[in-house]
């Protein structure tokens, strides 16, 4: 029987989607397409000007039966997709926090896709697990803990919350979540409250402690202590504190050491969300913001925000994490995992499957070296400083909070005649006008009730000239706006 | 002041990690490197033979101060990383389920990395949101619902569980999770129980209903009904049913229509985990497995397992999902989101940031067309059928459960003289020997107490000749093993 089958084999035509001839041709075409996009990116509106639903009208809604050529598809990318992009890599992108990219990060991603390994446990991809274990050490942490690449900050907070919750439930024994209370400042990213609700913390027990502009929107250890003590008097159990290093609104820095001191008195899990500003700590002049980090249980940072790559989460003592998240189905059993000589990263996160993402950071560190990465951080901070000086030099504007990193928080001066609603409206109008030109994209926030314009420097292609042009455009907007009043 | 700054700008040397000259050079080098890897992949041991800790001894543990050349780094990839890889793309990889890749998927990933957009809400990347909204329609679903790309099946189950939980808590009002019960078969992927624990379902209330080999390890609607009724008599509340289309151990198919009928009588959320076999339903001959899918609340499938790309999750009525997961911080507010004319995908999943992943599936559909993708599924199934026939032709082996897709579950015949422990040991020995050669990688499972060898066909580069060679190797192992007895 085996013989008959074998003799028929040659006649079976197989579709080969990894055909080496095609692979040697098409990705080269794409590599030519991409730098062209980067070179033309200045000519596209940075904030897309399309209307909702635009794409449905312009692209087929069903997969074709037969193949189409790469040329046809790239034409659609140019004519249909690119006009609908908000160009995060545009040098005129000053919105949110930038999503940085680099040639080395790109190479790392290519290699990750090339191997396409699924490293749920050690044996499934030893190199993937071991390279990831090397990274935190070569990065900025040493000691008994370890780091693991999560998908998002949300996931890092989610899994550490679960670890904290299950550890506390073990001690408490009641199985009742309703007593647990979590703490953070009112400036903490909304993903914190979302993660708390996901794990079953009652929204009534999420304390977002108010901050003030006078304290730079930083969480006060004294207020934290007062909140914790009040909760304990009411029979509640303090569970988790989220400290932020560089808040989304204004890059406020919570004092890790003092806050961890308070939290640790009551046995709480302390997490540091260093998504944005953590990367800056590769420069000695910013390192002091990490003082006290040895006291915390976990820390996450997003290298894509400032270090040209993906997200990392570092956990001091992963035991509670692994206890909460480990699984051991028969189909994944293997000698190495059972010998306890290896790490299985599936037990440190939500999903089972995981890509070989550490290749990106590894390629970035090695291709650029620490010296260039520090230069990258410093040049962004320097450009933000230039913008800050521009704002200070124009009496119609004010800096709302002192600048520390690459974000400038500013606004048109409050209007004493017409009041704060009017001030907010003017700033909103200025922002809408600037963004409608497609020449610059900025976003806003509200902090301490104040409507603030955010100018975040950090897109990889941004140079001094773009900052100068952005400021000219903002002034032009202010001229037009204040003239019409 | 502005003027002084401007005159100094020309002197500022900036590090440019997106230097167009480098970008036009280095990614081309990588594109040459990758097909070389694919062409040599046959010569590497498919299951890595390194020892735990091997990499620490061979790579620097700190990031270098100064840049290194791509040549140096690629040398380390060749000499240090590749020997530590378990090669998921090897044509001799028959373990777990395959992680498929294709030139078009690679191109989509390149484009996704090129744009590097962060599509948390519509305005942040209109094209990214709108292309993702087109996909489910062009794929296989129509109707009132929508699909969103999640990171993993675990995340798809997690977010739908949270939606179901919060919806039920709203109705129940007690705020007490302890009454909720969830159901699945004992063949369901371990990630289901993990997700349940993550959202606070008591492990006591996770019902993994036993299946039998006689029923092909499929979940029985009668047993489900009995379990639900028993729980309700005890004052518990049925919350969520996870139906699997193609289980991890043996690709068993749970009957969607009958099971959803039982679950819907009691108002439960029904999720279909079609991670593996969902992709096969692009072929009419497998479509019947989806009968009843219109009754379910959500369905997830992993196109990386069989459709050459990433994960998707389809939700029939996303209202509960969005209600449980939406956030609306000031810094993300914008007119389009507030007008309700657009979809913000951050509210459909755990994280805020998300990449433009739909480009991959889109490139795959268009580059290959439905006809080739169907051919791809069918040729894998055909090769599995060849292997099944080989097994059936050798009286020393047996097929444990009927083959339906690309996975063959088989073993050395039970040994009536020495009993079942001995049979298990023989099969384990055979597996270890085969894997130790580095020429084939298979894995095992236990189903219904039986130790089963799994031969999963589907790695993109696998051809008939690899299946023939694998069978020869397995026979060689059996010869040696049975001779020594």
User: Residues near A395 by Cβ (< 8 Å), separated by ≥ 6?
Assistant: A413
Phi, psi dihedral angles at B55 (to 5 degrees): -75, -35
pLDDT digits (tens, 9 = 90+) for A336-388: 877 777 777 777 777 777 777 888 888 998 999 999 999 999 999 999 999 99
Residues of A226-245 as b/e, b for ≥16 C-beta within 10 angstroms?
Answer: ebbeebeeeebbbbbbbbbb
| Out of B2, B9, B131, closest to residue A390 by CB | B2
- pLDDT by position in tens, chain B (length 485): 334 444 444 444 468 898 878 888 999 999 999 999 999 999 999 999 999 989 988 888 788 999 999 999 999 999 999 999 999 999 999 999 988 889 999 999 899 888 888 877 888 888 888 887 776 654 444 455 567 777 778 888 999 999 999 999 888 776 678 899 999 999 999 989 999 999 999 889 999 999 999 999 999 999 999 999 999 999 999 999 999 999 999 999 999 999 999 999 999 999 999 999 999 998 999 999 999 988 998 888 887 777 766 555 566 667 777 777 777 788 778 888 777 777 777 777 777 777 778 888 889 989 999 999 999 999 999 999 999 999 999 999 999 999 999 999 999 998 778 888 899 999 999 999 999 999 999 999 999 999 999 999 999 999 999 999 999 999 999 999 988 65
Instruction: Note whether A17 contacts B376, CB cutoff 8 Å.
Output: yes
Mean pLDDT of A102-114: 91
Those of residues 226-255 in A touching chain B at CB distance below 8 A are 248-249
B174 in contact with A, Cβ within 8 Å: no
Q: Look-up: residue for tokens 């190199």?
A: A127
If pLDDT is split at 50, 70 and 90, which confidence band does A99 have? confident
pLDDT digits (tens, 9 = 90+) for A460-484: 999 999 999 999 999 999 999 988 6
Strand order in the sheet with B450-456: B397-399, B407-412, B450-456, B443-447
Q: What is the pLDDT of residue B356?
A: 79
Q: Half-sphere exposure of residue B413, counting CA atoms within 13 Å on the CB side? A: 11
Residues of A in contact with B73 (CB under 8 A): 363, 366-367
Instruction: Note whether B18 contacts A460, CB cutoff 8 Å.
Output: yes
Task: List the single best residue of B200, B447, B454 to mutate versus A (max A Cβ within 10 A).
Answer: B200
Min Cα distance A367 → chain B (Å) is 5
Using DSSP, state whether A461 is helix, strand or coil.
coil
Q: What is the pLDDT of residue B192?
A: 93
Is the predicted pLDDT of residue A139 greater than 70, yes or no?
A: no
Contact B60, A139 (CB under 8 A): no
Please give the helix or strand (H or E) that residue A73 lies within, else none: helix A70-76
Instruction: Note whether A39 contacts B20, CB cutoff 8 Å.
Output: yes
Those of residues 417-446 in A touching chain B at CB distance below 8 A are 443-446
Contact A107, A367 (CB under 8 A): yes
If pLDDT is split at 50, 70 and 90, which confidence band does A4 have? very low
Q: What is the pLDDT of residue A322?
A: 77
A466 in contact with B, Cβ within 8 Å: no
Give the number of other CB atoms < 10 A from CB of residue B479: 11
Phi, psi dihedral angles at B37 (to 5 degrees): -60, -45
Mean pLDDT of A406-433: 92
**Interface predicted TM-score of the whole assembly (ipTM), two decimals:** 0.89
Instruction: Note whether B59 contacts A134, CB cutoff 8 Å.
Output: yes
Give alpha helix (H) positions in A180-311. 190-198, 221-233, 256-265, 284-287, 303-306
Mean pLDDT of A1-26: 64
Mean pLDDT of A117-143: 72
Cα four-point dihedral sign B369, B375, B380, B381: positive
Q: What is the pLDDT of residue A175?
A: 67
pTM for this model (two decimals): 0.91
Q: Look-up: residue for tokens 């400042």?
A: A185
Residues of A in contact with B367 (CB under 8 A): 67-68, 70, 73
Residues pairing with A299 in the sheet? A272, A314
- Rounded to whole angstroms, the Cα distance separating A449 from B460 reads 56
A338 in contact with B, Cβ within 8 Å: no
Lowest-confidence pick of A2-16, A218-232, B423-437: A2-16
Nearest residue to B148 (alpha-carbon basis) of B315, B370, B352: B315
| Smallest CA–CA distance from B334 into chain A, residue | A443
pLDDT digits (tens, 9 = 90+) for A14-68: 688 988 788 889 999 999 999 999 999 999 999 999 999 899 888 887 889 999 9
pLDDT digits (tens, 9 = 90+) for A424-449: 999 999 999 999 999 999 999 999 99
A6 in contact with B, Cβ within 8 Å: yes
User: Residues near B101 by Cβ (< 8 Å), separated by ≥ 6?
Assistant: A18, A113, A116, B89, B304, B308, B460
B99 in contact with A, Cβ within 8 Å: yes
Mean pLDDT of A211-222: 97
What are the structural domains, with CATH classification, of chain A? Answer: 117-354 (3.40.640.10), 365-484 (3.90.1150.10)
Residues of A in contact with B163 (CB under 8 A): none
Q: What is the pLDDT of residue B137?
A: 57
Q: What is the pLDDT of residue B131?
A: 83
How high is the mean pLDDT of chain A? Answer: 88
Q: Give CA B390 to chain center in angstroms.
A: 28
- Rounded to whole angstroms, the Cα distance separating A142 from A144 reads 7
Contact B135, B361 (CB under 8 A): yes
Is the predicted pLDDT of residue A130 greater than 90, yes or no?
A: no
- Give the 3-state secondary structure of chain B: CHHHHHHHHCCCCCCCCCCHHHHHHHHHHHHHHHHHHHHHHHHCCCCCCCCCCCCCCCCCCCCCCCCCCHHHHHHHHHHHHHHHCCCCCCCCECCCCCCCCCHHHHHHHHHHHHHCCCCCCHHHCHHHHHHHHHHHHHHCCCCCCEEECCCCHHHHHHHHHHHHHHHHHHHHCCCCHHHEEEEEECCCCHHHHHHHHHCCCCHHHEEEECCCCCCCCCCCHHHHHHHHHHHHHCCCEEEEEEEEECCCCCCCECCHHHHHHHHHHCCCEEEEECCCHHHHHHCHHHHHHHCCHHHCCEEEECHHHHCCCCCEEEECCCHHHHHHHCCCCHHHCCHHHHCCCCCCHHHHCCCCCCCCCHHHHHHHHHHHHHHHHHHHHHHHHHHHHHHHHHHHHCCCEEECCCCCCCEEEEEECCCCCCCHHHHHHHHHHHHHHHHHCCCCECEEEEECCEEEEEEECCCCCCCHHHHHHHHHHHHHHHHHHHHHC
Min Cα distance A278 → chain B (Å) is 17
B411 in contact with A, Cβ within 8 Å: no
Q: What is the largest CA-CA distance in chain B?
A: 95
Q: What is the pLDDT of residue B141?
A: 47
| Smallest CA–CA distance from B117 into chain A, residue | A88
- Rounded to whole angstroms, the Cα distance separating B21 from B26 reads 9
Those of residues 177-206 in B touching chain A at CB distance below 8 A are 177-178, 189-191, 193-195, 197-200, 202
Instruction: Note whether B30 contacts A341, CB cutoff 8 Å.
Output: no
Q: What is the pLDDT of residue B168?
A: 92
| Smallest CA–CA distance from A96 into chain B, residue | B331
- Rounded to whole angstroms, the Cα distance separating A61 from B362 reads 11
Lowest-confidence pick of A95-109, A208-222, B208-222: A95-109
């Amino acid at each position: 029987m085996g013989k008959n089958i074998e003799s028929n084999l040659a006649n079976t035509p197989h579709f080969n989607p990894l055909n080496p001839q095609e692979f040697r041709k098409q990705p080269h075409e794409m590599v030519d397409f991409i730098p062209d996009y980067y070179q033309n990116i200045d000519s596209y509106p940075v904030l897309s000007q399309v209307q909702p639903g635009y794409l449905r009208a312009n692209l087929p809604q069903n997969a074709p039966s037969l193949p189409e050529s790469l040329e046809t598809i790239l034409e659609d990318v140019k004519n249909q997709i690119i006009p609908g992009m908000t160009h995060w890599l545009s040098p005129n992108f000053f919105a949110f926090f930038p999503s940085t990219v680099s040639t080395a990060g790109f190479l790392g991603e290519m290699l990750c896709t090339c191997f396409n390994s699924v490293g749920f446990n050690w044996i499934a991809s030893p190199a993937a697990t071991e390279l990831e274990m090397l990274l935190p050490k070569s990065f900025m942490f040493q000691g008994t803990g370890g780091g693991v690449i999560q998908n998002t900050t949300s996931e890092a907070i989610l899994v550490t919350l679960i670890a904290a919750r299950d550890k506390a439930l073990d001690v408490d024994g009641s199985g009742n979540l309703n007593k647990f209370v979590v703490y953070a400042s009112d400036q903490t990213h909304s993903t914190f409250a979302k993660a708390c609700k996901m794990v079953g913390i009652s929204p009534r027990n999420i304390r977002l402690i108010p901050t003030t502009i006078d304290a730079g929107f930083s969480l006060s250890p004294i207020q934290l202590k007062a909140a914790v003590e009040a909760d304990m008097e009411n029979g509640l159990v303090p569970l988790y504190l989220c400290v932020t290093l560089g808040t989304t609104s204004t890059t406020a820095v919570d004092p890790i050491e003092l806050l961890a001191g308070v939290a640790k008195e009551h046995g709480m899990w302390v997490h540091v969300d260093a998504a944005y500003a953590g990367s800056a700590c590769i420069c000695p002049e910013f390192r002091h913001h990490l003082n006290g980090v040895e006291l915390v249980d976990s820390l996450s940072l997003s290298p894509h925000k400032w270090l040209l790559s993906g997200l990392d989460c570092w956990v001091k003592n992963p035991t509670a994490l692994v206890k909460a998240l480990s699984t051991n189905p028969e189909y994944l059993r293997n000698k190495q995992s059972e010998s306890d000589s290896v790490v299985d990263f599936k037990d440190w996160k939500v999903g089972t499957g995981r890509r070989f993402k550490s290749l990106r950071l590894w390629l970035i560190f090695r291709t650029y070296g620490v010296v260039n990465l520090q230069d990258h951080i410093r040049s962004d901070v320097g450009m933000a400083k230039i913008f800050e000086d521009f704002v200070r030099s124009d009496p119609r504007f004010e800096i709302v909070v002192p600048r520390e990193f690459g974000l400038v928080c500013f606004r048109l001066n409050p209007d004493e005649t017409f009041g704060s609603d009017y001030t907010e409206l003017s700033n909103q109008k200025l922002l809408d006008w600037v963004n409608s030109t497609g020449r610059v994209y900025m976003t806003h926030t509200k902090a301490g009730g104040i409507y603030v314009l955010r100018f975040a420097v950090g897109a990889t292609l941004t140079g001094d000239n773009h900052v100068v042009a952005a400021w000219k455009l903002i002034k032009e907007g202010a001229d037009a706006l204040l003239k019409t009043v």
